[in-house]
Chain A
Amino acid sequence: MLHKRTFLLVLTALLLATPFVFAGGDGEEAEGDDVITLTALGYVDLTNEITTTNWEELLAGWEEAQPNIKIEWEYLFGEPYHNKLQSMAVAGQLPDLVFLWPGKRTGDVTGSGLVKDISSYVSPVADQFAPAAIAPQGANGEFYELPEQVTATHVMFTNNRLLDELGLDFPETLAELLAQGDVIRDAGYIPIAMDNKDGWQMQSCFLSALVARTGGREWLDAARVGDASFTDDEFVDALTVIKTLFDADMFSPGINQADYGEALNAFAAEEAVYLIDGGWRTNELIKLMAEDAHEYVSYEVFPALPNEGGLPGATALVAGTGYGMNANLTGAKADAAWEWIYFFAGPEGSAIKATQGWLPAVKMDLPDTISPMLVQLSEFVNNVPAGYVIDAVMDGEGMGVLHPAIQEMMFGSITPVEAAARYEEWVAANDSSR
């Protein structure tokens, strides 16, 4: 009779669990008249203590500012975020607020008509923002998100204490940089910390700036539509710089096996003289490095190449990410959604984020209390000439061709010319801009 008892037990458990199973989905019907509830898909790394704490402060500020708008958050980060966003879009089930990129990264979703064009909300406040942030995101001048910041994808973070220790100065040219290699390595340091296991880092944080140097925005504009080719010298020369540095052992050893973050750790531990990464690392460097290091880490651009026919001394800039809203929202709900979008990127949210090491897109005086590193980043973004970030203007799928090609080029199985030809072949056949 043991079986009967087990069976009864299971049956009872099943019955008890039934309401549990169906729980969720809708709900939230019973609420006050003047409270608006929005659902949102947020881009926060919950396991990163630094960003999580920052985010909680931001939300506290929001709740104080808008007690009558309740937002139900779901958080994802990295690739999982994009998978989820895409699945939701395909099913036509976007939440009210979504986190978006200005360029191609979320282009499928913004191009689907599921995200509202918020230009009518943006234009009245446009003059509060840095001009680089207020660049139209759709083909017909649409805005899908309000950028929280302007992002420099290429910064050559430099540890000047180590440079002094080694008796070196920041190099003016590529040749001078290469000449420093032996000194730095002999002292047991890594010349340029970088990690490229995922492949995007080399393209976004380095190649984009190099192409800005060799060709500038004009060349990439031409190459994008087919008036120039990725087999041109502009592109091949840029690739060759990477190959030269790799062959001269200038990068972190095993650069193509290292997860994103290993290089940051090495630089923060003062094991590397230079770090090539995006400006967004400022926030983490401030937290990871000792107070006095904030004074001797400087923000540089990569030294001059022999042939800078485009924008000499350039970095690469892209308008930042921000929140956008579901196209189905109208009336009070849409206004409420805009309140969050503007809070997040506008003066209020930016004031909170600036104290945490984020450089806002909104024009504002930076508080005196902020780290000198953030001041440097601000000057860097405002003063350094900048070209495009390649993956913001070219199709994401093509990066699946370009990134491995760059890695193979470093391994020596193909030449820079072959790598360029491989990418051009893909772009000519598939890229949506051609």
Chain B
Amino acid sequence: MSDITLKNKELVGWRIASYIFMAIFTLLTVGPLFWLTYSSFKPHADIMQQTFAFPRAFFFGNYTRAWEIGKLGGLILNSIFYSFFGTIITVYLALGAGYGFAKFGYRVSNWFYAFFIMGLLITAHSVLVPLFVMETRLNIDDTRLGVLIPYVGFGLPFMIYLATSYIKGIPSSLEEAALIDGAGYLQIFWRIIRPVCQPVTATMLIFAFLSNWNEFVFVFVLTSRQEIRSLPVGVNAFVGGLSRDFGLLFAALVIATIPMILFYIFFRDQLMKGFAAGSLKE
């Protein structure tokens, strides 16, 4: 953070207001998640009767039972699969397209770019039915590929926006020098553009991973076999259930939530960099 800080009286008011502001936000975020986490170690009856009390003893039954009946193990592997490959493919495609749109100077780039940006306005629900019909015709419904393709398609607009605006900010002298040295465009992309793009790549990877991990609708509608579904779909089954065993529900919610929180805390700094550079020059 910035080291340059004012040392005067005016600042006291700012500081107090800042702390209050920050404290409220933190409390709103941490409180419910903390409660959710410790409640997940209580049996249903205890949650109902002593809603706020800490667990008397750590009760892992909710986790084993939720894991078992929700088949969460397989779902987590699938979530990792979709998030990992969906993210890698989207990000690299977006970097390539971003290079094309930013540096090649073709007029058609503007059209393509505008087209992709329009994609930010489209809701997943409005393409579901045509997409489902199309996938059944192509015989890729109910396969992992059939899930990955819409993940990539819906990830591209924002990723291309980030990549293009970043690459536009890279000085052209770099690639011109390489061109004179006889390098091909694809070589320039791989040897020069891609390494220079590392900060924005990190941002794109993390952001895409987060949104793919929490994605629900596509897996839900486009797959029917339990073996290829992902974690949010499994968790939703607990939410929609009529049995209302809060212990099970909370355990499932914690299982769905904790990995991404850890993921974010781990990659927090990388996430920041690209957002900054992403708007180096508009």
Contacts and interface: CB of A to CB of B under 8 A. Distances in A.
Direct touch of chains A and B (CB < 8 A): yes
A276 B133 CA distance: 42
A24 B133 contact: no
Contacts of A78: 240
- The interface centre, meaning the residue of B85, B141, B242 with most chain A CB atoms within 10 A of its CB, is B242
Contacts of A25: 139-140, 142-143
15 contacts: A3-B195, A17-B81, A20-B81, A20-B144, A24-B144, A25-B142, A25-B143, A47-B248, A47-B249, A49-B243, A77-B241, A80-B240, A84-B221, A87-B221, A265-B244
Given A47-B243, A80-B220, A260-B242, A14 B144 contact: no
A23 interface: yes
A23 B140 CA distance: 10
Contact of B69 (A47, A77, A80): A47
A310 B129 CA distance: 44
Given A24-B225, A41-B224, A48 B243 contact: yes
Interface string B137-165: 00111111100100000000000000000
Contact of A14 (B85, B136, B141, B225): B85
Given A50-B243, A87-B132, A91-B132, 17 more contacts: A21-B145, A22-B144, A22-B145, A23-B143, A24-B144, A24-B228, A45-B242, A46-B70, A46-B237, A47-B241, A74-B224, A77-B237, A84-B224, A88-B224, A91-B133, A91-B136, A265-B244
A10 interface: yes
A47 B132 contact: no
A91 B238 CA distance: 28
A139 to B, nearest CB: 27
Interface residues of B, number: 40
B241 A45 contact: yes
A324 B182 CA distance: 68
B245 interface: yes
A307 interface: no
Nearest to B65: A49
A50 B228 CA distance: 26
Contacts of B142: 24-25
Interface string B243-278: 111001100000000000000000000000000000
Contacts of B145: 21-22
Contacts of A92: 136
B88 A10 contact: yes
Nearest to B140: A25
Interface string A3-20: 100000010011001001
Contacts of B64: none
B221 A46 contact: no
Interface in B215-241: 220-221, 224-228, 236-238, 240-241
Interface in A18-48: 20-25, 41, 45-48
A23 B81 CA distance: 14
Interface in B108-151: 128-129, 132-133, 136, 139-145, 148
A175 interface: no
Nearest to B228: A24
A317 B241 CA distance: 25
B194 interface: yes
A87 B140 CA distance: 15
Nearest to B137: A91
A23 B144 contact: yes
Contacts of B241: 45-48, 77
Contacts, number: 97
Interface string B84-102: 1100100000000000000
Interface string A75-90: 1011110011001101
Interface in A89-117: 90-93, 95
B221 A261 contact: no
A330 interface: no
B189 to A, nearest CB: 12
B141 A93 contact: yes
A79 B225 CA distance: 18
A52 interface: yes
Nearest to B236: A80
A389 to B, nearest CB: 19
A75 B128 CA distance: 20
A51 B145 CA distance: 33
A45 B240 CA distance: 9
Contacts of A284: 242-243
The 9 nearest A-B residue pairs measured at CB: A47-B241, A48-B243, A91-B136, A74-B224, A47-B238, A21-B144, A21-B145, A261-B244, A87-B132
Nearest to B241: A47
Given A47-B237, A77-B237, A90-B129, A21 B243 contact: no
Interface string B66-87: 0001100000000001001100
B146 to A, nearest CB: 9
- The interface centre, meaning the residue of B129, B139, B241, B245 with most chain A CB atoms within 10 A of its CB, is B241
A78 B128 CA distance: 19
Contacts of B133: 90-91
A48 B143 contact: no
A93 B222 CA distance: 12
A313 B226 CA distance: 46
Nearest to A95: B224
Interface in A113-156: none
Contacts of B144: 20-24
A22 B228 CA distance: 11
Contacts of A3: 194-195
A13 B236 CA distance: 30
Nearest to A87: B132
Contacts of A47: 69-70, 237-238, 240-241, 243, 245, 248-249
Contacts of A41: 224
A92 B145 CA distance: 21
B214 to A, nearest CB: 17
